[in-house]
């Protein structure tokens, strides 16, 4: 059931277009596989699975930085098991090899390296590793000694152990505290403290995937699963095993993380799918069983002894009484709980709504009315159908359109905006192979792949200064920008402009991030210079700095001549500065809908060397021309 749900969850479809996939799609497989193997080891206590688990953890480390989620979640679960007194040798086997082998393997990955033992993200796993050993030791001693001796030993161990522990922890804390970020990487910190990124690392906050999600995005990505998940949690609590407690823990942490970043919805999706699968299958289990029982009662009316020979089937009355008794006992059990918390009450409601499984012995006795079970089965099927319809819709409409080719529906039919590829094809065919193209980093990969040109910054640029340099150039006046680009050996500058057709995610809307990131490295770029009374605008109210910066000029160059007013359809107003000329850049290509504009850096004019060169080259061409024309066979 969970697999069927997972197979079409929109959250994953969003990560793959037309059969190609992101590295995150691989990573989520590795993540879930690691969890599966962990649970498998926990259930079987087999070293074989424990080893496999470490290997799949290695796979996960290779594929995604999100592996820290595993190395924190599993220790959390282990700790939970220990605290709730569920320690067993299986738990030890599941955890200890994973930490040792997994850390060794993770350290082999170049990006991770010694971070696998040095950073705070991995600290929890080692702490829990130590605690686990202490607990294992205690259990071992308990088996060896008599209770009286054990008590004595226990006090001894606890005092010594605590002292050692405190010493170690103190050293560690001192070490960790010496670093400014407390040993946490920026990414993890932005997860733990959602406001961290927007305060300190604008580049992380600038990515739309790193914004907190909205409620509609939850509904879009996991749809009806959002309603099934609570039922699944209840199923996990009846009865609570090691595996089901792990599921609950996984879900809770994933919900928190997805609440911080849209991108981590991807981590939530498998948990939601598994829990909804549990909820659905147990609901169907209860409903179909009671249906079956009721039907058999209908057909085998009378005192006749039924052929199956089971006492339950033979006399319905005893079952009914016992079942009603059972419900009574259940209620009486539930009564004190109800007082405890509202949550429990809600859960019990759901129990009576029969979405959950009852413990084994009660299972065969709980019976619902026939009509109710038929209706709720049909409703559940309808719910599933709704989910399928939504997934197909999401796959077809929302996620199948590549972001590089935009379409709009009009009365005449589908209108295709293929401007990005138009520009990239132009770059790839009509510029020199060695020319460098500067653009904001969002278009870096696309330019590299589709236009086959070197870019200054791309989506994987780690060097913040690089990105800041381009941001600074874009927010500087023309002359300064020309100098920056010239020093970077840039020939062409590419900007994305949506003002003509109303494409909202264009460079003008991203511009403030360029200013922020640029200003982070180069203090002469100040964000307030670009804002009028704290508002970002490019109309007549805009600041002169804004109206003179390169980005504004490149985007709106000769834009006013299209309609005579310069009405920007994205921002919804007329632009501030309408008539201006470019002195250091020249327009070399603009796509059909003006979405991509490419400018070339003009060569410097007043340099003598350049002049000479130019003269030489022009004389050369003229001479060849003359020679070509002179070549006359008839003379």
Partner 1 sequence: DIFIPVVENAGSEPVSKVLLAFPNIQAKNLAAIRAFGTEGKVKGLSSVLPIEVVEPSGVPPELTFFSASLHKPLQKGKILHLDVLTVFTHFLQPFPEEITQADSQLVVFQDSSHYLSPYPVKVQTLSIRLPGGRVESYTKYGNTKLVDSELKYGPYEDVPPFSYNPIIVHFENNNPFAVAKELIREIEISHWGNVQITEHYNIVHGGARLKGEFSRLDYQSRPYARGVSSFRHLIARLPARAHSIYYRDEIGNISTSHLWSDSKKTQLEIEPRFPLFGGWQTTFTIGYGLPLQDFVFSADGKRFLNITFGSPMEEILIEKLIVKVVLPEGSKDIDVSAPFPTNQWQEVKYSHLDIAGRPVLVLEKPDVIPEHNLHFQVYYKFNNISLLIEPMMLITGFFLLFVACIAYMHTDMSISKNSPSYLAKLQWDEVQATVQQIQGIFHQCLAVHDKLETSLHDLSRTGDAKSCKAARKAADAQFKELAKELKPLLLSVQSSPQSYQIWPKLDDLVAKERELQDKLMARHATVVDSVEKKQRGQDIENRISSQQQKIAALRQEVESLLEYLSEI
Task: Examine residue 558 and tell whether it contacts partner 1 (CB under 8 A).
Answer: yes
Contacts of 415 (CB under 8 A, 6+ apart): 407, 408, 409
Closest to partner 1 by CB, 402 vs 544, is 402
Distance from C-alpha of 116 to C-alpha of 123, rounded to nearest angstrom: 9
Distance CA 61, CA 64 (A): 6
- Alpha-helical regions (H) of 45-110: 47-63, 67-83, 89-108
Q: Does 578 bind partner 1 (CB under 8 A)?
A: no
Would you say 123 or 503 has its CB closer to partner 1? 503
Q: Shortest distance, CB of residue 13 to partner 1, whole angstroms?
A: 20
> Of the listed pieces 350-358, 381-389, 391-399, 585-593, which binds partner 1 according to CB under 8 A?
585-593
In whole angstroms, the minimum distance from the beta carbon of 134 to partner 1 comes to: 30
- State the binding string over 407-446 for partner 1 (x if CB under 8 A, else -): ---------x-x--xx-xxx--xx----------------
Question: Is 243 an interacting residue with respect to partner 1 (CB under 8 A)?
Answer: no
Query: Alpha carbon of 483 to those of 458, 486, 581: distances in Å?
Result: 21, 5, 18
**Residues in 386-405 that interact with partner 1 by CB under 8 A:** 405
Contacts of 301 (CB under 8 A, 6+ apart): none
Q: Which residues pair with 589 in a beta bridge?
A: 598
Q: To the nearest whole angstrom, how small is the minimum distance from the Cβ of residue 331 to partner 1?
A: 23
106 vs 423, beta carbon nearer partner 1 = 423
- In the structure encoding, which two tokens stand for residue 443, read together? 């278009």
Which is nearer to partner 1, 321 or 430 (by Cβ)? 430
Q: Minimal distance in Å, beta carbon 294 to partner 1? A: 23
Q: Are 491 and 600 in contact (CB under 8 A)?
A: yes
Q: Which stretch binds partner 1 (CB under 8 A): 1-9, 205-213, 545-553, 556-564?
A: 556-564
In angstroms, the CA 125 to CA 119 distance is 11
Separation between Cα atoms, residue 616 and residue 285, nearest integer Å? 88
What are the C-alpha distances in Å from 332 to residues 51, 358, 442?
46, 15, 61
Candidates 309, 359, 413, 534; binder of partner 1 (CB under 8 A) is 309
Q: Does the footprint of partner 1 cover residue 614 (CB under 8 A)?
A: no
CA-closest candidate to residue 72, choices 34, 136, 122, 27: 122
Structure token pair of residue 112: 């991770």
Distance CA 380, CA 374 (A): 10
Question: Given the complex with partner 1, which of 210 and 491 has the nearer CB atom?
Answer: 491
Q: Is 521 exposed, middle or buried (0-12, 13-18, 19+ CB in 10 A)?
A: middle
- Region of 537 please: left (phi>0), alpha (psi -120 to 50) or beta: beta
The only residue of 193, 333, 371, 586 in contact with partner 1, by rule CB under 8 A: 586
Per CB under 8 A, the segment of 220-228, 248-256, 276-284, 621-629 that binds partner 1 is 621-629
Is 23 a binding residue for partner 1 by CB under 8 A? The answer is: no
Interaction between residue 594 and partner 1 (CB under 8 A):
yes
625 part of the interface to partner 1, by CB under 8 A: yes
CB of 587 to partner 1, least distance (A): 5
Q: Does 450 participate in binding partner 1 (rule CB under 8 A)?
A: yes
Which of 23, 296, 408, 562 touches partner 1 by CB under 8 A?
A: 562
As measured in angstroms, the least distance from the Cβ of 171 to partner 1 is 44
The verdict on 49 binding partner 1 (CB under 8 A) reads no
Q: CA nearest 383: which of 254, 287, 270?
A: 287
Q: Is 216 in the site for partner 1 (CB under 8 A)?
A: no
Residue ranges in contact with partner 1 by CB under 8 A: 305, 309, 311, 405, 416, 418, 421-422, 424-426, 429-430, 449-450, 558, 561-562, 586-592, 594, 621, 625, 628-629, 631-634
């Amino acid at each position: 059931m969970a697999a069927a749900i997972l197979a079409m969850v929109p959250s994953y479809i969003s990560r793959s277009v037309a059969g190609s996939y992101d590295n995150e799609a691989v990573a989520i497989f590795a993540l879930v596989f690691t969890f599966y193997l962990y649970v498998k080891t926990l259930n079987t206590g087999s070293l074989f699975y424990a080893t496999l688990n470490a290997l799949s953890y290695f796979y996960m480390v290779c594929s995604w930085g999100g592996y820290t989620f595993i190395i924190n979640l599993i220790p959390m679960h282990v700790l939970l098991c220990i605290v709730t007194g569920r320690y067993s040798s299986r738990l030890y086997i599941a955890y200890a090899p994973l930490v040792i082998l997994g850390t060794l393997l993770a350290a082999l990955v170049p990006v991770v390296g010694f971070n696998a033992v040095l950073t705070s993200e991995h600290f929890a796993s080692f702490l829990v590793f130590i605690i686990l050993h202490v607990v294992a030791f205690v259990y071992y001693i308990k088996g060896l000694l008599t209770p009286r001796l054990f008590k004595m030993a226990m006090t001894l161990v606890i005092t010594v152990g605590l002292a050692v522990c405190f010493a170690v922890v103190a050293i560690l804390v001192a070490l960790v505290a010496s670093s400014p970020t407390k040993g946490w990487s920026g990414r993890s910190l932005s997860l733990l403290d959602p406001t961290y990124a927007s305060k300190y690392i604008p580049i992380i906050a600038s990515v739309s995937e790193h914004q907190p999600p909205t409620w509609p995005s939850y509904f879009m990505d996991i749809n009806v699963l959002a309603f099934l998940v609570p039922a699944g949690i209840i199923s996990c609590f009846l009865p609570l095993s090691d595996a089901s407690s792990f599921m609950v823990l996984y879900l809770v942490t994933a919900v928190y993380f997805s609440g911080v970043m849209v991108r981590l919805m991807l981590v939530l999706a498998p948990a939601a799918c598994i829990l909804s699968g549990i909820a659905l299958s147990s609901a169907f289990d209860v409903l179909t069983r009671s249906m079956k029982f009721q039907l058999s009662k209908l057909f085998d009316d009378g005192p006749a002894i039924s052929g199956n020979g089971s006492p339950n089937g033979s006399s319905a009355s005893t079952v009914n009484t016992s079942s009603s008794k059972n419900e009574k006992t259940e209620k009486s059990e539930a009564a004190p709980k109800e007082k405890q918390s509202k949550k429990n009450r809600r859960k019990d409601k759901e129990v009576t709504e029969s979405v959950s499984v009852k413990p084994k012995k009660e299972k065969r006795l709980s019976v619902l009315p026939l009509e109710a079970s038929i209706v709720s089965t049909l409703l559940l099927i309808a719910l599933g159908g709704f989910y399928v319809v939504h997934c197909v819709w999401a796959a077809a409409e929302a996620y199948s359109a590549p972001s590089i080719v935009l379409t709009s529906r009009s009365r005449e039919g589908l209108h295709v905006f293929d401007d990005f590829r138009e520009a990239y094809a132009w770059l790839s065919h009509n510029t020199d192979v060695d020319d460098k193209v500067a653009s904001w980093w969002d278009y870096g990969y696309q330019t590299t792949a589709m236009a086959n040109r070197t870019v200054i910054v791309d989506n994987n640029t780690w060097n913040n200064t690089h990105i800041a340099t381009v941001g600074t150039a874009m927010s500087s006046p023309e002359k300064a920008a020309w100098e920056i680009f010239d020093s970077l050996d840039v020939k062409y500058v590419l900007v994305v402009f949506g003002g003509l057709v109303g494409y909202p995610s264009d460079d003008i809307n991203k511009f403030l991030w360029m200013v922020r990131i640029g200003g982070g490295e180069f203090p002469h770029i100040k964000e307030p210079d670009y804002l009028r009374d704290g508002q970002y605008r490019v109309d007549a109210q805009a600041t002169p700095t804004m109206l003179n910066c390169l980005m504004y000029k490149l985007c709106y160059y000769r834009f006013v001549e299209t309609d005579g007013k310069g009405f920007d359809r994205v921002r919804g107003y007329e632009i501030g500065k309408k008539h201006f000329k470019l002195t250091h850049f020249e327009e070399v290509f603009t796509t059909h809908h003006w979405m991509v504009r490419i400018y070339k850096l003009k060569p410097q004019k007043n340099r003598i060397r350049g002049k000479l060169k130019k003269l030489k080259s022009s004389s050369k061409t003229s001479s060849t021309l003359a020679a070509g024309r002179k070549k006359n066979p008839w003379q």
